[in-house]
Amino acid sequence: MNVRITGTWWAWAVACLVGWMQVGSTAAMPPNIVWLTVEDMSPWIGPYGDRTVPTPNLDRLAREGVVYDNAFATSPVCAPARSSLITGMFCTRIGTMQMRNGKPSEAAVAKNPAAYRDIPGYEGLPPPFVRCFPEHLRAAGYYCTNNAKKDYQFQNPVTVWDESSSKAHWRNRAAAQPFFAVFNFMGTHESQGFPKAERRPERVAPADVPLPPFYPDTPHVRDAVARTYNNIAAMDRWVGDRIQELNDADLLDTTIVMFFSDHGVGLPRGKRSCFDTGLRVPLIVRYPDGNAAGSRDDRVVSFVDFGPTVLSLAGIDPDPRLDGTPLLGHYARERDDYRRGHAYANADRFDETYDRVRSVSDGRYRYTRHFVTGLPYLVRNAYREQLPMTADLYALEESGPQRPEQWQFAAKQRPAEEFYDSKVDPWEVTNLVDAPEHRKRIDTLRDHLDAWIRDTGDLGFVLPETTLVKEKIWPPDGQQPATPPAEIDEKAELRGDSMVYVVRLSCSDPGASIGYRLGTDKKYSGPWQVYTGPFEVPANRRFIEVQTHRIGHLPTTTGALLGRE
């Protein structure tokens, strides 16, 4: 039986959860934490009531964990959303809202070689106190791996991951070392519906798939939806394999597992759209002791909360200046401002095409504002056009809707405001913005959205992007600055009959992460270590390499020979 839990009950449950981390007065091993992230997927899975294809492994995860009914991405496209996941900050605050800001779309350039003529390449720039959250875990002794997508809209410092590759795995940690491991499944990505993509085993035929009411019933549409579901079935097997790995290593009973997707479904009007189909994501959390197993949580949670929550579960107090709030663990807390119970999202440039949408949901009601109204709902995007169904949707602009629910695809421009009841109208096709019975709700959400835009200093309004780069990211001339080099201070001391060097590192930029590695010569080996304070170096490992890197600036590497006069 599923039990729905609320904030008050959950606070008590969290207190019970952290109890397993203590044995008497002696601290027990911190929990391992695993993220199973999948790409471009709405909650079209069994735990959310969709039985189109079997998802037995996710069903089991839900029975053994907590299902979140109101989890939302901060953007309906991957790179901006992932920048929020890794930093705990809204992408509109740190300049990562444009998709992408550092690498032109090959599809867009192939269609129009001049597509990026006026679009500069740059990186996001968080405030100095922000670090990619795995760096804090590494500083606390965790082994952190990423397998393997990053796409953060900036180059990550070397201090973030012990390993980040297609071979990265928690198995490579030191004995008994706690770990945080990310595994990413690409098989549900939008591109997996392109004609040349692998076709996975058919678990549902195109003729048998349920179609959202806003789609026309065409062979291309049915094929795309069927491929989406068949990819979900393959993803479920992948989830089972990752869980089995933990079980085989006797680690499932000491590991917190979080399953979620990076935004909504990778089909038109999902990905790149500020509707529930683009922003609402599945989230399931399984605890090692069965805490709250089989329950549901209806709190509104956002991607900015995920990193702070991992830190809290690991016993680390997240910086209160972060946009995100820890939901679970020892430092779980509730916000006391306008953001409590609300999820905010943005949609800006998608590859070469500009848009600007801001949206807020309280879990049931969604208010959306279009700042560019002279566009169709389906903005032109060369990458998405590789899906054959896209042409069928474009055609509705000329032919008109086949059903009333398709009015958005047929519209050649948008209203300035929209308001939807996603409980009564889960596909969000009935715009209630002029309904008098909702006037108070609309006014409240409108005020919340205005407050969010002001509070974050929304950089999506700083256009053109050349101005954004010159005035906000890399002032005054738009040239990327280098992080100041490390200052290396050493002191030789005797330890018994041996001499060591006590090394202190610093950087004049308070936003800089500092990583180091040692060697017996200049051929350094092993992962970069996170500098947390003075450390000792044996006299036979006198070579040290230090890298300073503030996110958004160029890293600077310094080498030194300790003890050299």
* Maximum C-alpha span of the chain: 87
Report d(CA 532, CA 17) in Å as an integer. 29
Q: Output the 3-class SS for 351-411.
A: CCECCCEEEEECCCEEEEEECCCCCCCCCCCCCHHHCCHHHHHHCHHHHCCCCHHHHHHHC
Report d(CA 268, CA 379) in Å as an integer. 10
Burial class (CB in 10 A: 0-12, 13-18, 19+), 497: exposed
Pairing of strands 3-5, 295-302: parallel
In the numeric block, the tokens 């019970």 are attached to 16
Which residues lie closer than 8 Å to 9 by C-beta, 6 or more apart?
none
In the numeric block, the tokens 């056009």 are attached to 385
Kindly report the number of other CB atoms within 10 A of residue 313's CB atom: 27
DSSP string, 336-352: -STTTT-EEEEE--BTT
Report d(CA 542, CA 61) in Å as an integer. 49
Burial class (CB in 10 A: 0-12, 13-18, 19+), 172: middle
Helix (H) or strand (E) holding 147, with range, is strand 143-147
Reading phi first (left if > 0) and then psi (alpha if -120 to 50, else beta), residue 198 is in: beta
Sheet holding 32-38, edge to edge: 3-5, 295-302, 65-72, 280-286, 255-261, 32-38, 179-185, 143-147, 163-164
Give the pair of three-digit tokens for residue 232. 């979900």
The beta strand positions in 252-364, using DSSP E, are 255-261, 280-286, 295-302, 343-347, 357-361
Cα first-last separation, the chain? 72
Kindly report the number of other CB atoms within 10 A of residue 561's CB atom: 10
Burial class (CB in 10 A: 0-12, 13-18, 19+), 480: middle
Sign of the CA dihedral 64, 328, 233, 276? Answer: positive
DSSP 8-state class, residue 49: T
Are 527 and 172 in contact by the 8 Å Cβ rule? The answer is: no
Reading phi first (left if > 0) and then psi (alpha if -120 to 50, else beta), residue 341 is in: left
Report d(CA 79, CA 58) in Å as an integer. 25
Are 319 and 87 in contact by the 8 Å Cβ rule? The answer is: no
Catalytic residue (choose from 78, 144, 274, 507): 78
- Active-site residue flag, 274: no
Report d(CA 81, CA 91) in Å as an integer. 7
Q: Catalytic residue positions?
A: 78
